[in-house]
Amino acid sequence: MKKTRIYVAGHQGMVGSALIRQLQQRPEVELVLRSRQELNLNRQQEVEQFFQTENIDQVYLAAAKVGGIHANSTYPADFIYENLMIESNIIHSAWQAGVQHLLFLGSSCIYPKFAKQPMAESELLQGELEATNEPYAIAKIAGIKLCESYNRQYGTQYRSVMPTNLYGFNDNFHPENSHVIPALMRRFHEATVAQEPQVTVWGSGTPLREFLHVDDMAAASIHVMEMADAEYQALVPQTQSHINVGTGVDCSIAQLAQLMAEVVGFQGNIVFDASKPDGTPRKLLDVSRLKSLGWEPQIALPDGLKSTYAWFVDHQRDFRQS
């Protein structure tokens, strides 16, 4: 039996590694992987040559330059250039090599700063973007439109998924540049080890956020990729073809902090510093389209946090100084 050769771009990242964990369990799949040192995705000629020689059947485009607010604000040119180059090179080279199935992984930051809540796919391009990550968001929007344009002109099956806030194994636990779950997890862990009396959390604790375990994200991505073409086309419009991936449920930062304290075993007080910024009051995805495609998340937030914390404890030496 001929195996399906699948290229996962960005396989060493959080989402890419989750995809690898699930795809490598399938005997009919042959994974094709390249590190950054082996294949520079910013270089068109290298990417074209790779696709022309490797006979790829499917592509998961999980490679991207990512970072927090500080990085996005400090290096806007890097974020828009590198992400545009990565997605343009891979999508065009895949088409040139006859690859019919590709999945582009975007971000919920594509939606306007003041989008209606919960945010449906139709909210795309309906208002101003958040200024701090506009270059990154524009690059991700371009990726969606690249997929739509190649589908319209060449009849390919290039699909796009937009995840909510992700967490899980291989997350970035940097003390300053990480997102809210890994940042809180590290803060509560270190406070517990040091037997500190309290942990201070930025903001009022009232903003609402949605969180999805990265293993659920990988499962949803594979589900969308493997849907039969006719079934997919019947359910997803050719324009605005991207699909939100989330839980459809949010919680307050205060609730998250309390849950994190319980998971880590922190016994002290939780204090909220209301002088620090809260950010957007609410960010919740409308996931009705994904449900109509036959997929729902399986990992509840408390269970996901427990497994992530166990991974964090086992691997903390690897990123203690990061």
Question: Considering the entire predicted model, what is its pTM?
Answer: 0.94
Tens of pLDDT, residue by residue, the chain (322 residues): 889 999 999 999 999 999 999 999 999 999 999 999 999 999 999 999 999 999 999 999 999 998 777 778 888 999 999 999 999 999 999 999 999 999 999 999 999 999 999 999 999 999 999 888 899 999 999 999 999 999 999 999 999 999 999 999 999 887 666 788 999 999 999 999 999 999 999 899 999 999 999 999 999 999 999 999 999 988 898 878 999 999 999 999 999 999 999 999 999 999 999 998 887 888 999 999 999 999 999 999 999 999 999 999 999 877 644 4
Q: Which of 7, 111, 136, 167 is catalytic?
A: 136
Cβ(51)–Cβ(93) below 8 Å = yes
Interatomic CA distance for residues 71 and 52, integer angstroms:
35
Cβ(103)–Cβ(159) below 8 Å = yes
What is the phi/psi pair of residue 308, to 5°? -65, -40
Residue 116, annotated ligand binder?
Answer: no
Residue 13, annotated ligand binder?
Answer: yes
> Where are the domains positioned within the chain?
4-319
Of 66, 17, 69, whose CA–CA distance to 202 is shortest?
69
- Helix and strand element counts for the chain (H, E): 11, 13
Count Cβ atoms below 10 Å from residue 183 Cβ, excluding itself: 21
Residue 107, annotated ligand binder?
Answer: yes
Residue 166, annotated ligand binder?
Answer: yes
Q: Under CATH, what is the fold of the domain 4-319? A: Rossmann fold (3.40.50)
Interatomic CA distance for residues 70 and 314, integer angstroms:
28
Residue 163, annotated ligand binder?
Answer: yes
Q: Say whether 136 is catalytic.
A: yes
Judged by DSSP in three states, 182 sits in: helix
